[in-house]
């Protein structure tokens, strides 16, 4: 009887340890709202890879690109999109690679691709935007693909083909140790026009 | 029962190990294993002086790609100046290559930095050098050894005067080649 009780105690101890570790490792989306500006941000970490999205207001996007040589029409086209300042950090101890083409925006049961920098560049060609404006645009966007060694990170803008105020989950993927990994940012919402 | 306990403990250990893999952001440079030859470039600095990478053979050259509108670039430039003041006399060159902006814009921006940069800032107006180097985003930094090979890389902002990073550069400077 005593032997049975001892084994049962071991089982529960192991179960509690497992639940504690599993609970701590479950990636949660942390949400914050700036009290002054009302700008919202979302952040999560999965397997040592950290991703955060911070809303970019239409005024911010418009001002940024007007100051870099965009004409009003082109600046307005970008400002009307759903834009986030995006930061990805490799805080794990292994190298990773990612490609934005693998990332999906989830709305209900449907999955959509992000609007990437080369797609925007086709529009800027039609607008006949000058070289310096397009150079600034290229380097201000989050890279289409990149390799991160441990400690590497990057920051840039990502855009989503959604109206202002719309919400979605973002499934982001990366390759680590030969395997495709993924995480989810939940309940991300595009900034409203103010 | 014993098998279930072992399984739970095993899974807990694996999960803990994965969590422990997430470390504090490091400030060091990543070793570039295959040491590729650094691509040649020729650019002018803010004073109109020409700089050609191949003419710096025999020195350790830190090349930082940046833009004034890039937040992490803005944050790391003062630390790059502190590094330059620390190692600038030791056969060490810092070249900060600006992406696509004109001299007036760069001058107005750097004047606001504390400490203001005294290392050469090169203007890559058409971003052709940027496109020719393995750069995907800004800032990206490379260290070229005395033989003209890329030996270190850093993607994203760093504190260039962090002890770990200074130690890596001092060690490289001590090497003959």
Residue A9 pLDDT class (50, 70, 90 cuts): low
Q: Which positions ≥6 away from A96 have C-beta within 8 Å? A: A49, A90, A147, A148, A174, A175, A176, A181
Over the stretch A50-106, which tens digit does the pLDDT of each residue have? 999 999 999 999 999 999 999 999 999 999 999 999 999 999 999 999 999 999 999
Q: Is the pLDDT of residue A165 over 80?
A: yes
Say which residue, B2 or B58, is predicted with more confidence.
B58
Mean confidence (pLDDT) of chain B: 88
Query: What are the domain boundaries of chain A?
Result: 28-189
User: What pLDDT sits at residue A89?
Assistant: 97
* Ramachandran area for residue B48 (φ above 0: left; ψ -120 to 50: alpha; else beta): left
Distance CA A49, CA B146 (A): 35
In whole angstroms, what separates CA A10 from the centre of its chain?
42
> Strand order of the sheet with strand A82-90?
A30-33, A40-46, A49-55, A82-90, A153-160
Over the stretch A113-153, which tens digit does the pLDDT of each residue have? 999 999 999 999 999 999 999 999 999 999 999 999 999 99
Which chain B residues are within 8 Å of A68, Cβ to Cβ? 69
Interface ipTM above 0.85: no
Strands B150-155, B92-99: pairing kind: unpaired
CATH architecture for the domain at A28-189: Sandwich (2.60)
* B26 → closest Cβ in A68, A146, A150: A150
Distance CA A152, CA A95 (A): 9
Please indicate whether, in this complex, the C-beta atoms of B21 and A94 are within 8 angstroms of each other: yes
Taking one residue from A and the other from B, the number of pairs with CB-CB distance under 8 angstroms is 123
Which chain B residues are within 8 Å of A64, Cβ to Cβ? 69
Interchain CB contact of B143 with A (< 8 Å):
no
Cβ-based neighbour number of residue B17 at 10 Å: 10
């Amino acid at each position: 009887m005593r032997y049975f009780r001892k084994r049962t105690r071991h089982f529960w101890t192991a179960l509690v340890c497992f639940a504690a570790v599993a609970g701590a490792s479950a990636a949660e989306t942390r949400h914050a709202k700036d009290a002054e500006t009302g700008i919202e941000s979302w952040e999560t970490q999965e397997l040592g890879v950290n991703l955060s999205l911070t809303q970019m207001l239409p005024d911010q996007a418009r001002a940024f690109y007007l100051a870099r040589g965009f004409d009003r029409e082109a600046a307005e086209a970008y400002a009307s999109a759903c834009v986030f300042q995006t930061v990805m950090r490799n805080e794990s101890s292994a190298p990773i690679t990612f490609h934005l083409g693998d990332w999906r925006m989830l709305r209900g049961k449907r999955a959509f691709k992000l609007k990437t920098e080369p797609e925007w560049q086709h529009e800027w060609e039609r607008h006949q935007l000058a070289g310096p404006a397009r150079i600034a645009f290229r380097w201000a966007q989050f890279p289409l693909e990149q390799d991160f060694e441990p400690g590497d990170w990057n920051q840039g803008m990502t855009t989503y083909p959604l109206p202002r105020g719309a919400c979605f989950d973002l499934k982001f993927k990366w390759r680590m140790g030969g395997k495709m990994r993924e995480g989810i940012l939940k309940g991300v919402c595009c900034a409203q026009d103010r | 029962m014993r098998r279930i306990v072992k399984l739970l403990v095993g899974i807990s250990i694996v999960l803990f190990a994965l969590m422990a893999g997430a470390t504090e952001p490091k400030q060091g440079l990543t070793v570039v294993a295959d040491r590729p030859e650094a691509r040649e470039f020729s650019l002018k600095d803010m004073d109109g002086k020409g700089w050609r990478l191949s003419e710096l053979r025999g020195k350790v050259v830190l090349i930082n790609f940046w833009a004034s509108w890039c937040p992490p670039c803005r944050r790391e430039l003062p630390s790059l100046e502190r590094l330059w003041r620390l190692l600038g006399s030791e056969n060490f060159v810092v070249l900060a290559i600006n992406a696509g902006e004109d001299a007036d814009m760069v001058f107005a921006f750097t004047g606001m930095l504390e400490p203001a940069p005294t290392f050469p800032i090169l203007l890559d107006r058409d971003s052709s050098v940027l496109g020719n180097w393995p750069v995907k985003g800004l800032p990206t930094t490379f260290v070229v050894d005395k033989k003209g090979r890329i030996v270190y890389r850093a993607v994203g902002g760093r504190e260039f005067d962090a002890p770990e990073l200074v130690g890596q550069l001092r060690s490289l400077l001590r090497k003959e080649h």
